[in-house]
Structure 1
Amino acid sequence: MTAIMILGAAVWADGPSPTLRRRTLHGAALFHQGRGDAIIVCGGLGRHPPSEARVMADLLIADSVPEAAIHREDRSTNTAQNIAFALPILRDLGVRDVVIVSDAYHLPRARLIARRHGLRVTVSAPPRGTARLWPQIKGWLREGPGILAVLLRIR
């Protein structure tokens, strides 16, 4: 059994951010392609309610993913917590094989964290990121120190 783990992104006052929507719909497409048997949506309450996991679950259901296949991790506020708080769900499902869904710049660090928890990981990014260049540049710049921190076990 394989689980698709979709990492959270912001919920805006008027609904899911484009990043959250893009990641979630990519996870749904992977599910419909048979790449996973279950989906774990990760993300707690940010600046605007409801939780990221709740918004993702609603998007998945609207995209014909069966509710029984969706598992919510709705307490985390960062990548390390996304993965750590999803571990009990994975154990309950009997799963060690995970496809992590996030943006391309985020996936190397997420993969490293997941492997440290003993998971067998593949990654998948939505085919296109944001059309705006600056958010992508900021993401790549932020991830460099994040990867170093994980390697040095600071986070």
Structure 2
Amino acid sequence: MFNYKTKKQWLAMILLGLMSALILAIASISLSIYFYGNNNNVIKADAAIVLGAAVWGEEPSPVFRERINHSINLYKNGDVRVIIFTGGIGDKDESAEAIVGKRYAITQGVKSADILIETESRTTNQNLKNAQKVADEYQLTKFLIVSDPLHLKRSVLMAQDLGMDAYPSPTPTTRYRSLNSQLQFLMRETYFYFVYLVFKI
């Protein structure tokens, strides 16, 4: 029989093994998120779905502007026919994110008829669900999901779980440039990706 000391040693080894496995899993997810967002393969699609981000008054925040600009480039290059802007009202004194995105895109030469919006969503999952409803009305079936590189692995997985034919289209530039800001964003996305895998929320 094991004595008390031996049992404690075995328990410590089991706990160490579990912690090591957890750390390895987290590191693996983080790396997969990082490298996934660096995939810049160009795929033609019916529409670009631009995931919402904060607005400052009537103007897009720097993060949102990068996403809008990328979708405009996709549109002008002929990679998509339509842009779908998503996002509701973050603050009662601000316009809905999707409306701000549409206004900005029109000033950059995108035809109003080629822009669709949904203005009710507050989360990434809601962005995608509501965009899918809009797309269904116009028989759009293939999508490029536009967001910051580190946000895309979770976003595309959500879209595909909704039955969408969706592909990543990371912004070539991002406001998360410093090592510190990238690490914070990566840690956040790793947590939310893990939660989504387990709980689908």
The TM-score with structure 1 as length reference comes to 0.94
Q: CA deviation at 1:118?
A: 0.7
1:142 aligns with 2:185: no
How many angstroms apart in 1 are the aligned matches of 2:58 and 2:132?
31
Q: Among residues 20, 25, 36, which one is paired with 2:64 in the alignment?
A: 20
How many angstroms apart in 2 are the aligned matches of 1:2 and 1:35?
8
Q: CA deviation at 1:14?
A: 6.5
1:115 aligns with 2:160: yes
Gaps of 5+ in 1: none
Q: Among residues 94, 109, 112, which one is paired with 1:67 in the alignment?
A: 112
Higher helix proportion (structure 1 or 2):
2
Higher deviation after alignment, 83-92 or 23-32? 83-92
Q: CA deviation at 1:135?
A: 3.0
Letter in 2 for 1:142: R
Q: CA deviation at 1:110?
A: 0.3
Gaps of 5+ in 2: 1-44
Change (3 A) 1:5 1:132: same
How many angstroms apart in 1 are the aligned matches of 2:194 and 2:181?
21
Q: CA deviation at 1:138?
A: 1.9
Equivalent in the alignment of 1:83: 128
Does the CA-based 8 Å contact 2:87-2:127 persist in structure 1?
yes
Higher deviation after alignment, 128-137 or 113-122? 128-137
Q: CA deviation at 1:109?
A: 0.4
Does the CA-based 8 Å contact 2:48-2:143 persist in structure 1?
yes
| RMSD (Å) for aligned C-alpha atoms | 1.4
The TM-score with structure 2 as length reference comes to 0.73
> Looking at CA atoms only, which structure, 1 or 2, has the larger radius of gyration?
2
Q: CA deviation at 1:140?
A: 1.1
The size of the alignment, in residue pairs, is 155
Calculate percent identity across the aligned residue pairs.
32
